[in-house]
Amino acid sequence: MNALKKINWSGWLFFGLLLLAWELGARGAPKLQLYFPPLSRVLVALVASVQTGALVSQFMITVGRFLEGYFLSAAIGVALGIILGYFRSVHQLFETFIEFLRPMPSVAIIPVAILMLGISDSMIVAVTVYATVWPILINTIDGVRHIEQVLIQTGRTFGLSRRRILWQVILPAASPYIVTGLRIGLSIALILVTTAEMVAGGKGLGFFILDEERSMNSGNMYAGIIVVAALGYALNRLFLALEAKALKWRHGMMARQAA
Amino acid sequence: MRWSNLRGVLFLIALIAIWEIASRSDLLNPLIMPAPARILGVFSDLISSGQIPWQILVSMKRAAAGYLLAAAVFIPLGIVMGLSRRIYCLFEVTVEMLRPVPPPVVIPVAILFFGLEDKMKIFVIFFSCAWPILLNTLDGVRSVDWVLLNTARTFGLSRAKTILQVVLPAASPQIMTGLRVSLPITLILVVISEMVGSTDGIGYFILDSQRRFRVAQMYAGMLSLAILGYTLNQVFNLLHRVLMSWHWGMMKRME
């Protein structure tokens, strides 16, 4: 059906024209080239810094921090979210606390993290976890609360243990909400890793990009940005593919209900 | 915040009390986590000396400029892209290419072009609010009932009138969603851009306090940011209720 979707010719043409305008505009204004090198030079810089391994090692560092932070956030956010969503009294206890912390922009935690953990990997991961837990937590709470009580009661009637109710009733029923939280968390985690690397990092793509700007190597700076954008794009694509696979049963069920 | 949730409020107060005691008795390192009473003292000093209000004012000017600029550019663009399939196709690839760029990495580019001035932060905020505003507007316009558009055409409304009196109101709930999602993004990006390249603003103030080891002052700055975030959200909700009251009224009547 959708496999034969036509290529968007006009869109690619427009994008190509923009790139061409960049190349020609930069070539035509040599004075600007310090800020605005031609695209071809950016691509050369990209290939060169990949070949020397400079960009690759920064990339691996950023990806490592991202994965660590993201999976920790997912584990914490989903576990806490299920507890807070299931036990109303626990939720009441923590509600004001959560409402108090949530409006603060998450990046404001960076100075505190530097103070407590110094300039280190664990600082960057901690900051990432703090920011990424929020959307996952809030969505999981919502998801658990929206489960029809009939489902849980049916499970109980059939004598399912608490553990089985959790794994076979609550988790699947709340999964669409959880997945939404995980998707929002994906881009937030990438934003926080790169930000923390900019503000206080000696390594990683965020640091690389800012450092190349400060040393006026704008070619390398743009190359770094292209790599970060590609990383963000790939992560999002990967997530969507996994989501389609993981939630396949649900789409099947929905289709059956509609039919 | 729901103050009616007594248990929640008491729990929060208990946590702060434990912090206070732990910090005073050196269980928590008071150099890193000073007692809340001290933070509040510093906070009120900084408020009355005008320092925090001044830094927040500086940040808010930048935030407002970037946010409003993004709204002024991307709501119209979203409407045009939503109405015309051809224009949508034209921009689609470019949008899809730019969207995965995490907004903070745009900061170095903005520094190159604009230096450390206000323009730099405004551009960064503009860029980061672009996608939620554009994509929500686009969705909103696309889901406008075709009957509405056809009716407008039948009555011979001009294009401009159709857009202003039919499309814009019908798409406004989703446009508001885009604007609401952009609000915390704006606040985050103004703080980040002030941390990375600035000599004033609340983001700079917090990071600078940490670097000078004025820890209580740092926490006071964070507290002011939390209050600011909360206030902005409340103001938006209020505006939303006033602006969209016709919409809720209509929905009720339809039921």
Cα angle value A217/A59/B190 (rounded, 5°): 70
Mean pLDDT of B31-57: 93
Instruction: Point out the residue among A97, A105, A114 whose CB comes nearest to the CB of B191.
Output: A105
Instruction: Measure A158 CA to nearest chain B CA, in Å.
Output: 35
Query: According to the model, what pLDDT value does residue B136 have?
Result: 94
- pLDDT tens figures, A237-248: 999 998 888 877
User: Average pLDDT in the A75-80 region?
Assistant: 96
Measured CA to CA, the distance from residue A17 to residue A2 in angstroms comes to: 27
Q: Would you state the pLDDT for residue A1?
A: 40
The whole-chain average pLDDT of chain A stands at 88
Question: Could you tell me if A194 and B105 are in contact, meaning their C-beta atoms sit under 8 angstroms apart?
Answer: yes
- Enumerate the domain spans of chain A: 35-258
CB spacing of A195 vs B192 below 8 angstroms: yes
Convert the pLDDT of each residue in B145-175 to its tens digit: 888 888 888 888 888 888 888 899 899 999 9
Q: What is the ipTM of this complex?
A: 0.86
Helix then strand count (H, E) for chain B reads 12, 0
**CB-based contact A10 B108, cutoff 8 Å:** no
From the list B106, B109, B90, the residue with the least C-alpha distance to B98 is: B106
A203 backbone dihedrals φ, ψ, rounded to 5°: -145, 170
* B contacts of A11 (beta carbons < 8 Å): 89-94
The model's pTM is 0.88
Residue whose tokens read 């663009």: B77
Q: How confident is the model at residue B216 (pLDDT cuts 50, 70, 90)?
A: very high
First to last CA, chain A: 20
How close A161 comes to chain B (CA, Å)? Answer: 30
Fold of A35-258: MetI-like fold (1.10.3720)
The tokens describing A205, both together, are 């793509």
Contact at 8 Å (CB) between A39 and A25? no
DSSP B59-113: HHHHHHHHHHHHHHHHHHHHHHHHH-HHHHHHHHHHHHHHTTS-GGGHHHHHHHH
- Tell me: the pLDDT tens digits for A10-42? 889 999 999 999 999 888 887 777 788 899 989
Cβ distance A194 to B222 less than 8 Å, yes or no, reads: no
| pLDDT of A209 higher than 80 | yes
Least confident span in A64-73, A152-161, A224-233, B43-52: A152-161
Residue-wise DSSP of A82-108: HHHHH-HHHHHHHHHHHHHHTTS-GGG
Say whether pLDDT at B190 is over 90.
yes
B26: left (phi over 0), alpha (psi -120 to 50) or beta: left
**Model confidence over B117-149: pLDDT tens digits?**
899 999 999 999 999 999 999 999 998 888 888
Domains of chain B: 36-254 (1.10.3720.10)
Q: Which of A10, A115, A210 sits opposite B90 (nearest CB)?
A: A10
Tell me the chain B residues in contact with residue A103 when contact means C-beta distances shorter than 8 Å. 184, 226-230, 232-233
Q: Measured on CA atoms in the order B104, B106, B108, B114, is the torsion positive or negative?
A: negative
- Beta-carbon separation of B8 and A225 below 8 A: no
- For residue A96, the distance in angstroms to the closest alpha carbon of chain B comes to 5
Stated length of chain A:
259
Nearest-CA distance from A226 to chain B in Å? 8
Distance between CA atoms of A2 and B136, rounded to whole angstroms? 23
| Distance, CA of A231 to CA of A205 (rounded, Å) | 11
**pLDDT tens digits for B177-186?**
999 999 999 9
Testing the interface with B: which of A32, A35, A63, A95 to mutate, by most B Cβ within 10 A? A95
